[in-house]
């Protein structure tokens, strides 16, 4: 069984270039695969390998005093969900596009405290208590917490504009969540910066909650940004989405096979074969027309 690690930490890295080069060298020596982003504001990444390899990676990262307390989210996979080891330098470890004072980050709620909100105040959720999903809309379609507010955004940079719809709820209790916690660190600080008075966030995100309390208040699957695309939270894992072609309940998420579309879609195995992995009839038709043109020399003239 392959072990997958997800991790991040906001901490000052004075020389991201030197850090990147040294970190990549160490990862290659461990023969692990993954994708890691490095910026002056910190590190954000996911790596995969055998239990022995990822444990050595954890020890290596923990040996740096800046990351001695970094929290790892762990998941299992039947195969390595990365093709190679990549370490990239970015301006931000999660792309937000606005200056945010991270000292204003909302209060952390443990998975147990988060669950107790649902158990103690079910009638207040949605009115006095806003459960806010800080992720993209295509992630929320695959799975979310019950009664959660989702945003019409396709990338995290859209968050500041989207939350203007909540401006009249600045005095409500806002509880945020995302996959592993990294987006909520910035998003919750941004809300407080914008005058929201009571902002909390789920510590460790969906993945940490799912390890402790599956089969409770989560519905569907959890979207993840690697080759797997979804990770199970509940034991039964009932889909809340349907195939984009035939409407059969389905949580198999793929990138549209039409190159210039590449959008995420839910598509069942039968329709993936029938429509060549395309997200829609239109993309399928255009893909077929392109293949016919490429195979017909006369059509290319």
Any bridge partners for residue 200, and if so which?
A: 107, 175
Q: Which helix H or strand E contains 55, and what residues bound it? A: helix 51-62
**In Å, what is the CA distance from 169 to each residue of 127, 129, 189, 217?**
9, 10, 16, 23
CA 21 to chain centre: 26
Catalytic annotation present for 178: yes
Please report which residue ranges of the chain form alpha helices under DSSP H: 16-30, 51-62, 111-120, 137-142, 159-162, 182-193, 205-212, 269-274, 281-295
Residue of 25, 10, 34, 95 whose CA lies nearest to 227: 34
Residue of 150, 143, 135 whose CA lies nearest to 241: 143
* Surface-to-core class of residue 78, CB atoms within 10 Å of its CB (0-12 exposed, 13-18 middle, 19+ buried): exposed
CA 2 to chain centre: 20
**In Å, what is the CA distance from 9 to each residue of 18, 36, 70, 182?**
18, 12, 6, 8
Please report which residue ranges of 107-258 form alpha helices under DSSP H: 111-120, 137-142, 159-162, 182-193, 205-212
Q: Which of 27, 178, 271, 283 is catalytic?
A: 178
8 Å CB contact between 169 and 130: yes
Q: Strands 129-133 and 173-177: what pairing?
A: parallel
**Dist. CA 226–CA 174, nearest whole Å:** 29
Q: Which residues are catalytic?
A: 178
């Amino acid at each position: 069984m392959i072990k997958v690690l997800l991790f991040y930490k906001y901490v000052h890295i004075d020389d991201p270039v030197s850090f990147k080069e040294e970190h990549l060298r160490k990862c290659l020596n461990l023969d692990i695969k993954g994708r890691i982003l490095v910026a002056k504001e910190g590190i954000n990444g996911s790596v995969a390998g055998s239990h022995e390899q990822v444990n050595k990676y954890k020890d290596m990262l923990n040996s740096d005093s800046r990351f001695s307390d970094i929290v790892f989210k762990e998941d299992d996979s039947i195969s390595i969900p990365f093709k190679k080891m990549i370490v990239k330098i970015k301006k931000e470890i999660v792309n937000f596009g606005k200056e945010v004072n991270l000292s204003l980050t909302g209060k952390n709620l443990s998975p147990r405290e988060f669950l107790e909100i649902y158990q103690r105040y079910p009638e207040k959720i949605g009115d006095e208590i806003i459960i806010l999903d800080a992720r993209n809309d295509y992630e929320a379609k695959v799975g979310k917490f019950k009664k959660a507010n989702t945003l019409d955004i396709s990338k995290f940079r859209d968050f500041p504009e989207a939350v203007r719809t909540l401006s009249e709820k600045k005095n409500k209790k806002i509880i945020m969540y995302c996959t592993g916690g990294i987006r909520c660190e910035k998003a919750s600080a941004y809300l407080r910066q914008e005058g929201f008075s009571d902002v909390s966030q789920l510590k460790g995100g969906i993945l940490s909650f799912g390890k402790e309390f599956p089969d409770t208040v989560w519905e569907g699957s959890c979207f993840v940004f690697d080759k797997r695309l979804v990770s199970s939270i509940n034991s039964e894992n009932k889909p809340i989405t349907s195939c984009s072609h035939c409407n059969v309940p389905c949580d198999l998420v793929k990138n549209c096979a039409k190159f210039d579309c590449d959008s995420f879609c839910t598509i069942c195995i039968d329709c993936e074969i029938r429509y060549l992995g395309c997200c829609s009839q239109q993309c399928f038709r255009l893909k077929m027309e392109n293949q016919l043109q490429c195979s017909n020399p006369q059509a290319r003239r």
